[in-house]
């Protein structure tokens, strides 16, 4: 089983030195990690130790190299979360409210016409500097009022995508044409123009312009009720996990990594 990491915090720049959770090192002395990776390791280690304290994992279990955990630890963490995170079934009213507030979220046949400038995250790249360049470009292109000429020029000069030679044009896309994390940021809304935020994907940071939208067909509530309930359960689970990690961090000795901590009981 592959190692899992549970992230409850936001990304940042690189961090030097050795970070520890209750004396257990999260990184090697010569291992320079960005804040996101370090916090992911910290959250995973908090859960691994909690599983040991709950008697779900042998006290002999130790973390592996580069943040990896054993298959036994991964299974024990799953058991721990199943026990500690009690997620209620969303009510009919909650599902209907979500459906009314997100009319395009489950559209069938939805398409968007996009352009983008991709700042690719590649091995050895300074992610902090890359983000600063991408954010500066985002502001510049949102302020441009020239019919899109500046966007085309920026894509041709800066984009790490072959589409840059076509002014960043990606054409008409459906959800299935995009990486899931990219699709979540682009589909299911009515936004037109250069989006006010960078879109993060496995490929890097994107400045995205929505040129046009085709909303497709809007299914009836009864057709998507189960999918909405799944979405709401997942949101509740993520919030409960964040709160549980805050509780664990509040009771732990945390060195070299910034984690939110809470000394109050877990509230769901």
Distance CA 209, CA 112 (A): 10
d(CA 237, CA 233): 6
Nearest CA to 213 among 172, 175, 178? 172
Note the pLDDT of residue 93: 95
Q: What is the mean pLDDT of residues 5-26?
A: 64
pLDDT digits (tens, 9 = 90+) for 83-119: 999 889 999 999 999 998 887 777 788 899 999 999 9
Phi-psi region of 96 (alpha: psi -120 to 50; beta: other; left: phi over 0): alpha
Contact call for residues 183 and 175 (beta carbons, < 8 A)? yes
Burial class (CB in 10 A: 0-12, 13-18, 19+), 248: buried
* Structure confidence at residue 2 as a pLDDT band (50, 70, 90): very low
Which of 57, 81, 79 lies closest to 70, judged by CA? 57
Which residues, at least 6 apart from 63, have a Cβ–Cβ distance to it below 8 Å? 24, 45, 48, 69, 73
Mean pLDDT calculated for residue range 53-68: 88
Question: What is the total residue count of the chain?
Answer: 268
pTM over 0.85, yes/no: no
Biggest CA–CA distance in the chain, Å, is: 64
Confidence of residue 263 (pLDDT cuts 50, 70, 90): very low
Question: What is the pLDDT at residue 163?
Answer: 96
pLDDT, tens digit, 9 for 90 and up, residues 29-50? 777 777 888 888 999 999 999 9
Place of tokens 């664990």: 248
Q: Average the pLDDT over each of 55-59, 64-68, 156-160, 227-231 and give the range with the smallest value.
A: 64-68
User: For 133-173, how does the pLDDT look when each residue is reduced to its tens digit (9 = 90+)?
Assistant: 999 999 999 998 888 899 999 999 999 999 999 999 999 99
- Side-chain half-sphere of 262: how many Cα atoms within 13 Å? 12
- pLDDT at 8 > cutoff 80: no
Give the mean pLDDT of 242-255: 93
Q: Are 145 and 160 in contact (CB under 8 A)?
A: no
The pLDDT value given to residue 32 = 74
For residue 10, is pLDDT > 60?
no
pLDDT of residue 218: 81
pLDDT at 20 over 50: yes
What's the pLDDT tens digit per position in 188-202? 888 999 999 999 999
Query: Looking at residue 261, what is its pLDDT?
Result: 56
CA distance 77 to 73: 6
């Amino acid at each position: 089983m592959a190692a899992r990491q549970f992230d409850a915090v936001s990304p940042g720049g690189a961090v030097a030195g050795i970070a520890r959770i209750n004396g257990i090192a999260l990184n090697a002395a010569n291992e320079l990690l960005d804040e996101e990776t370090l916090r992911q390791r910290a959250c995973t280690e908090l859960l691994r130790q909690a599983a040991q304290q709950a008697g779900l994992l042998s006290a002999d279990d130790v973390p592996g190299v580069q943040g990896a955990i054993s298959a036994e630890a991964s299974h024990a963490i799953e058991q721990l979360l199943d026990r500690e995170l009690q997620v209620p079934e969303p009510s009919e009213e909650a599902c209907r409210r979500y459906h009314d507030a997100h009319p395009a979220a489950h559209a069938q046949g939805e398409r968007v016409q996009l352009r983008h400038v991709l700042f690719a995250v590649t091995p050895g790249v300074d992610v902090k500097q890359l983000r600063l360049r991408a954010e500066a470009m985002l502001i510049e292109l949102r302020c441009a009022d020239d019919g899109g000429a500046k966007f085309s020029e920026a894509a041709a000069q800066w984009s790490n995508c072959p589409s840059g030679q076509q002014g960043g044009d990606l054409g008409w896309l459906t959800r299935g044409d995009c990486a899931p994390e990219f699709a979540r940021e682009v589909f299911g809304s009515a936004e037109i123009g250069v989006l006010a935020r960078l879109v993060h994907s496995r490929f890097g940071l994107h400045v995205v312009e929505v040129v046009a939208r085709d909303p497709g067909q809007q299914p009836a509530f009864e057709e998507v009720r189960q999918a909405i309930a799944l979405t709401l359960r997942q949101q509740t689970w993520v919030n409960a996990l964040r709160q549980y990690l805050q509780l664990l961090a509040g009771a732990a000795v945390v060195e070299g990594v910034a984690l939110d901590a809470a000394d109050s009981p877990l509230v769901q």
